[in-house]
Structure 1
């Protein structure tokens, strides 16, 4: 497989993959690292990736899995650190734009946040989200419905109190 093909794949997909990783991690630096790691893995398996029905979908699956792994490791580390200190660490600063929406998405349960990010922010169809997450299509639809309800309720409450 030519390096030109891989360079074009990178140029075509990088920004969308960083966006998806950012929505999952809420950390631009981590999102860029995860995306770079996904491309490094893809490069090491370029023959497999080039034969995939959708190389971008293959990469997106890797990005989601890397973000999940990072989330699990961070949660474990946070539990260990919280045992050692009496007060929790301060939350990271939210992005300037769309503060209410970002806060509402972050407040969702992880399984709801992932489907919202992949479907709405990464613009993936429901069946592809199901494939990436390894769950049935009906589960994705149910999670999206619950997530939309939770987001609407939270955003409506914030608007009412503003």
Structure 2
């Protein structure tokens, strides 16, 4: 079986010491906002777009950017993490994976207003670090770990 890979961008959105997650129906797991990067799109731009579409919130990304430029290169905002995620596994073989550019973002409110076709506002929950730990029976361990790191990083800014 050939493995296909798609590039995706994810944002752990933080406001007032908590991060927003929802139960993703298609993947059957709790996740932050994110989605596929369009062919003509850069990862940090996709991250902000996906957050706007899914939460109706604009975020400031905490994304380091190096000071490297020339006539042919430009440094772009860097994700906090890169993950390779198995999405479709059958009989021990991986059919599809996501190469995930994971960003941390700070929102200035919790007023969730998703776009058409997105999970409704009441499908989203805000989790503190203690809430993340307490929900270990329903949240993937990487979501807990990265969620706590995002909260810590944003709160330290």
Length-normalised TM-score, structure 2: 0.29
Larger radius of gyration: 1
More strand by share: 2
Between 1 and 2, higher relative CO (CA 8 Å, sep ≥ 6) is seen in 2
Length-normalised TM-score, structure 1: 0.28
More helix by share: 1
